[in-house]
Structure 1
Amino acid sequence: MRVNWDYIKLACLSVAVVGLYGFADHRSKQKKVEDVTIKFVGENNLYITEDAVNKLLIQNYGPVKNRDKEQLVLNTIEEVIQSNAMVKNAQVYLTVNGELISKIVQRKPIGRVEGISKFYLDDLGERMPLSKHHSARVPIITGEVTGKTLEDAYVILNYINNDDFLRKNVIGIHIVKEGKYQLRFRMENFVVNLGGVENLNEKFKNFMAFYAKASKDLSLADYAIVSLEFNNQVVCTKI
């Protein structure tokens, strides 16, 4: 009987590779976490600090550094970080060098509600608590705050943030009642009666035409109220 040495060599090589892989995997699991790195992704990184994240992990998961890698449950660590009200998303992974890296996206406030309850409205239209680390420079929302009026305020803020002039100049939204909203501007004394959130593009187009003409005429200071509530027109009340 002729022995096929090629098959035997291949089988031995396969066993050796599997053995080495198993040994390396076992050694890898026995290694400890050498370091923990917190990375904040994007520009909006003001509302929670690296120290706060580390404290959150210790309180809710236990110490991570010098812990056996096989003891870590990365999904659970992500859930712990995302439980913080300032965190929008978190991604956690281990490097081959034993470094635990957490990439965190913080939430972005676009408005601040001032009333009995004080909180931010974020870029997804959700309530976001105030931060002890930073106060966002966003339009102030006052008046009759309800679920529906907050939804409308979110629509208005989204429009404002997509327009360079409005984003720089609108400093407040006052909710008179559902369907009746007022805007306050940084450099002007007049109040803009916006009405409801329907036809915002047409309303602001008319407003910009009025503003350009009144600026040219040096008459902006003459007005107390600028109303955009009526179809395709701007109605002004002088001081």
Structure 2
Amino acid sequence: MQVNWNYIKLALLSISVVGLYGFADHRSKNREIGDITVKFLGDNNLYLTEDAVNKLLIQNYGTVKNRPKEQLVLNTIEEVILSNEMVKNAQVYFTVNGELISKIVQRKPIGRVEGVSKFYLDDTGQRMPLSRHHSARVPIITGEITGKTLEDAYVILDYINEDDFLRKNVIGIHIEEEGKYQLRFRMENFVVNLGGIDNLNAKFKNFMAFYAKAAKDNSLEDYAIVSLEFNNQVVCTKI
């Protein structure tokens, strides 16, 4: 009977590969975590620190460094990080060298509510707590704070943030009541009665035309109230 050595060699090679893979996998699972790196993505990294993330992990998951990789559940670690109210998104993974990397996107405030409760309104329209580490320079929201008026304030802020001039100059939104919103500007004495959130594009287009003309005439200081509440009109009240 003739022995086919090629089959034998192939079988031995397969056994060796499986054995090496199993050995490498065993070593990988039992390798201890070395460095822990926290990376904040984007340009909005002012409200949460690396130390705060590490403390959060220790308090809710236990010590991570020097633990075997097989004892760590990445999804659970991500959930722990996401439990912090300053975090918008988190991704956690291991490197081949046993380093644990946490990539974190922080939430972005676009308005600050000053009422009975004080908090930020973030760029998704959700409530966001104030930070001990940084105070955001965003428009202040005052007046009649309700769920509906905050929804409307978010729509106004979202529009303002899309316009360079408005984003730099609007410093406050005062809510008189639902459907009556008033804007305050950084360099001007007048207030802008916006009315409701209907037809924002037309209202601000009319306002910009008024502002450009009044700035050219050096008459901006003459006005106390600029109203955009009426259809396709800018009604001004002088001081």
TM-score, normalisation: structure 2: 0.99
> 1:43 and 2:6 equivalent?
no
Question: Structure 2: which amino acid aligns with 1:70?
Answer: E
> 1:142 and 2:142 equivalent?
yes
Work out the CA distance in 1 between the residues paired with 2:236 and 2:86: 42
Work out the CA distance in 1 between the residues paired with 2:94 and 2:216: 61
1:207 corresponding residue in structure 2 = 207
Work out the CA distance in 1 between the residues paired with 2:2 and 2:112: 85
2:115 corresponding residue in structure 1 = 115
Root-mean-square deviation over aligned CA pairs:
0.5
Question: Structure 1: which amino acid aligns with 2:10?
Answer: L
- What is the Cα deviation at residue 30 of structure 1? 1.2
2:125 corresponding residue in structure 1 = 125
TM-superposition CA deviations, 1:31-87 (whole Å, max 9, x none): 100110000001000001000000000000000011111100000000000000000
Question: Structure 2: which amino acid aligns with 1:161?
Answer: N
Identity of aligned residues (%): 85
TM-superposition CA deviations, 1:125-165 (whole Å, max 9, x none): 00000000000000000000111110100000010000000
- What is the Cα deviation at residue 169 of structure 1? 0.2
Equivalent runs, 1:183-194 vs 2, <5 Å: 183-194=183-194
2:228 corresponding residue in structure 1 = 228
1:20 corresponding residue in structure 2 = 20
Work out the CA distance in 1 between the residues paired with 2:9 and 2:194: 82
1:46 counterpart SS class: coil
- What is the Cα deviation at residue 2 of structure 1? 2.2
TM-score, normalisation: structure 1: 0.99
Work out the CA distance in 2 between the residues paired with 1:64 and 1:20: 28
Point out where structure 1 has 5 or more consecutive residues left out of the alignment. Answer: none
1:92 corresponding residue in structure 2 = 92
Work out the CA distance in 2 between the residues paired with 1:136 and 1:89: 20
Work out the CA distance in 2 between the residues paired with 1:201 and 1:75: 43
Point out where structure 2 has 5 or more consecutive residues left out of the alignment. Answer: none
1:206 counterpart SS class: helix
1:91 counterpart SS class: strand
Which of structure 1's runs of 4+ aligned residues deviate more than 4 A? none
Work out the CA distance in 2 between the residues paired with 1:108 and 1:156: 16
2:165 counterpart SS class: helix
- What is the Cα deviation at residue 120 of structure 1? 0.2
- Give the paired residue count: 239
> 1:7 and 2:19 equivalent?
no
2:81 corresponding residue in structure 1 = 81
